[in-house]
Structure 1
Amino acid sequence: MELPLSDPFISIAIILIVSKTFGYVFTKLKQPSAMGEIVGGIIIGTSVLNLIQTTESLEFLSELGVVLLLFLAGLETDIEEFKRVGGPAFLIASGGVVIPFILGYLTTLPFTHSKMASLMMGGVLTATSVSLTASVLMEMKKLRSKEGASILAAAVVDDVLGILVLTVLVAINTTGTISLEEIGELLGEAALFFGAVLVLGIPVVKRLIRLSSRITLPESTVAFALAVVMSLAFLAEEFRIAGITGAYLAGLLIGQTDEARRISDKVTTIAYALPVPVFLVGIGIHTDIRVFYAGGASTLALIGVYALVAALGKVVGCGAGALLSSFKPKEALRVGIGMIPRMEVALIMLTVGKGEGVLTSTLFSVGVAMTIITTLVTPSLLVWSFRE
């Protein structure tokens, strides 16, 4: 048997076993399962064992995993709550997007010598993953505190803004220009797409889902829901917008239907049984840790600077937004720390950036290292910040 393995069936079998085994081990270590899956991917990838060769079928499953993750994120977004949280959450999230984006761009530019690559690395830092923060706050019985509620609400806004940033960056890369006029035009197109889909899509999707429930075949409603996801992902790309933006909007639309919970449960089963593990383990497979020592001190310095900027950017940006919302300094610090972790959305941005040819293997690996570092440091920082 030749290595690396190129047969898709045995490759998927190995990926699934590694995904669930390492994910379980990391949950026992009180770390996110996604981190375990990435580490497992690094071990079976080119960095260590070199077991798996990436093929078109694995790439497709990975892309499907990304689309379904964003669809599920959209399903979990409560539009009414989104409207209610209003000013404070928007200020916190805006600071946590603008400051890390600028710092990420400025600090990586001397290393990349590419405006587009540095813009994408800045964009990656806009994302926040509060699943780890939520679990730590829950253990400390602080999830329903003023800070906990603000972190969760701001994370919703943060996701939307982050997706908009990614949408603009992908469009800029497609057109090959970085002018303020072009950015304004792209933002206008994105806003038009969002508005048209949300206004026209809700009644259409509600009717479609209702009609699909009359088809007496197994999982007809789920199949129609997935058809909506794929259709909006396609339309988004036709509008020069990232396909995952369409998937997120599909989640928002279907989240307004009576079948939302059942569809969410079914799609979660489908997603986490196959495409999402392929995506997460694939992150590790694509991460070549040899670039760290092969690149010498400059690559290690970039990892350190990038991870530091990732943490400080959220503390300063989100903290400033909290202070403007009349939070006390210590409360604002807690909010900023709670917004530090990056995971799913950041990894999706890295994957899109690599797929678009913007990010090199080295920059991709640096981004993965940043997600691991920010995830590891957050729990202890949160516990420290809540000490009286």
Structure 2
Amino acid sequence: MHFDMPTLLGAGIVLILIFWLGLLSLKIKFPTVILYILLGIVLADALHHNELLHFASEIGIVLLFFLLGLEFNIKRLGGIATKIWPAGFLDVALSLGVAMLLCLVFGLDLFTSFLIGGVTYATSSSITAKLLDDTSRMANSETEFILALLIFEDLVAPIVVAIIMGMSSGENFQVMDLAILFGKIIGLAAGAVLLGKTLFKRFEELLIRIEDEDFKIALLIGISLAYGGLALYLGLSEVLGAFLAGIMLSEIGKIERVEQTVLPVKDLMLPLFFVYFGTTIEFGDGVPKVGLLITLIGWSLVAKVLVGMIGGRMYGLSKRVAFRAGLSICARGEFSVVIAALATGVIKVFSGIYIVIAAFIGMVLFERAPQLTNLIYGKPQKKKKNLKVPGS
């Protein structure tokens, strides 16, 4: 049963609770992300209509990917793209393809099997990126592989959503529709590159001339939201648009000027995304299809670890680093929710329960990845330095 709460009161209470949960996470050494999701589940009835929370959560996720895009200039992104595609297609085959086959074995129809396969496919980009930052693993050797795989998934997931929407409409989804979708993605990416090389070529000089931080914040956040909104208008993902907006500005000399301006706003807004994510999950009465649920959770974890171990080796990582990467990409999140929202009835409840469990287990595995890697491969040996004795 829903009950009404003034929008502003709800927003204030959520921010205070986020502060309290942040302190609690430090005390109990538990990931803040999952605490925020649980908060959203608890407050779902009170916040189901809160448009302010929804809008703020959209800004948070857009700014996260905008800042990620800043780290990838065109040259670096091109180098990653040539290396990640084998692991990316392996991920599609194992995480989506095999999950779909398992659903068919359990007696589900083709459309429902494909939908659930989509739910089990994409790693949560926001959860993974947040955990990388929180655990100070951004500089680790596997991080580039993880981010590259997330980018690949962010390109594939909108295509999966479009196919599901086409299938659910009752009309035949034509090859031409898929070609148009690919064209939009290529066009959006090409537009970002073109703008980065022309309009934003001297952007750093403009930032230096702007002394008032308020104006600077408005400009930078406006750019990220506008390109993310353009992606949505084209039927793509706003996080893909925001990431491309970051790439547009990545060619400037000192990206620190942009990061320092946007970071405080992102830190305020991003927790709201996870709270909102929690409010979208409806458990319903009981747990449907328990056997399939357990099977998919088990396989989805195995599939991601295999993607890390095999795909990571294809990418050039060592065995231990590839295994650690595999353990770090098991969480499900925003794209799974988008796809689950297209389901109805029991399948929607089933998908919501799967997402919560997979997100929880994925975050635990991420936190324990270094220890589990040491358990399997042993602790890494420190390189010995040859010390010269004076006078020898």
Task: Give the whole-Å Cα distance in 1 for the aligned partners of 2:291 and 2:26.
Answer: 30
2:11 aligns to what? 12
**In the TM superposition, what is the alpha-carbon distance from 1:312 to its structure 2 partner?**
0.8
Contact 2:224 2:245 in 1 (8 A): yes
2:94 aligns to what? 99
Deviation track 1:62-106 (CA, whole Å, cap 9, x = no partner) reads 222232222222224355444455665554454345422223333
Task: Give the whole-Å Cα distance in 2 for the aligned partners of 1:8 and 1:133.
Answer: 32
Q: In 2 relative to 1, CA 44–105 (structure 1 residues): closer, same or farther, beyond 3 Å?
A: same
Task: Give the whole-Å Cα distance in 1 for the aligned partners of 2:107 and 2:51.
Answer: 31
Task: Give the whole-Å Cα distance in 2 for the aligned partners of 1:249 and 1:112.
Answer: 38
Q: 1:266 aligns with which of 261, 266, 290?
A: 261
Identity within the alignment, %: 19
Deviation track 1:164-210 (CA, whole Å, cap 9, x = no partner) reads 01221343355555455543442243123212321333421244564
Q: In 2 relative to 1, CA 102–37 (structure 1 residues): closer, same or farther, beyond 3 Å?
A: same
Name the TM-score, length of structure 1 as normaliser.
0.79
The answer for unaligned runs of 5 or more in structure 2 is: 379-392
Deviation track 1:244-285 (CA, whole Å, cap 9, x = no partner) reads 221111111123224632322332211222x32322112222
2:47 aligns to what? 52
Task: Give the whole-Å Cα distance in 2 for the aligned partners of 1:263 and 1:204.
Answer: 16
Task: Give the whole-Å Cα distance in 2 for the aligned partners of 1:196 and 1:165.
Answer: 19
Residues 1:252 and 2:247 aligned together: yes
Q: In 2 relative to 1, CA 322–134 (structure 1 residues): closer, same or farther, beyond 3 Å?
A: same
Q: In 2 relative to 1, CA 130–58 (structure 1 residues): closer, same or farther, beyond 3 Å?
A: closer
Task: Give the whole-Å Cα distance in 2 for the aligned partners of 1:216 and 1:171.
Answer: 44
The answer for unaligned runs of 5 or more in structure 1 is: none
Larger radius of gyration: 2
**In the TM superposition, what is the alpha-carbon distance from 1:375 to its structure 2 partner?**
1.3
1:371 aligns to what? 359
Contact 1:319 1:336 in 2 (8 A): yes
2:67 aligns to what? 72
1:353 aligns to what? 339
Task: Give the whole-Å Cα distance in 2 for the aligned partners of 1:220 and 1:137.
Answer: 31
Contact 1:104 1:125 in 2 (8 A): no
Contact 2:56 2:273 in 1 (8 A): yes
Residues 1:340 and 2:329 aligned together: yes
Name the TM-score, length of structure 2 as normaliser.
0.78
Task: Give the whole-Å Cα distance in 1 for the aligned partners of 2:86 and 2:93.
Answer: 11
Residues 1:171 and 2:159 aligned together: no
Contact 1:222 1:267 in 2 (8 A): yes
SS in 2 for 1:20: helix
2:286 aligns to what? 295
Task: Give the whole-Å Cα distance in 2 for the aligned partners of 1:75 and 1:112.
Answer: 43
Q: 1:384 aligns with which of 369, 372, 375?
A: 372
Task: Give the whole-Å Cα distance in 1 for the aligned partners of 2:210 and 2:129.
Answer: 38
Task: Give the whole-Å Cα distance in 2 for the aligned partners of 1:252 and 1:78.
Answer: 6
Q: How does 1:112-127 map to 2 (within 5 A)?
A: 113=109, 114=112, 117-125=115-123
Q: What amino acid does structure 1 have at the position aligned with 2:329? A: I
Q: How many residues align?
A: 366
**In the TM superposition, what is the alpha-carbon distance from 1:10 to its structure 2 partner?**
0.8
Task: Give the whole-Å Cα distance in 1 for the aligned partners of 2:352 and 2:197.
Answer: 37
Q: In 2 relative to 1, CA 361–261 (structure 1 residues): closer, same or farther, beyond 3 Å?
A: farther
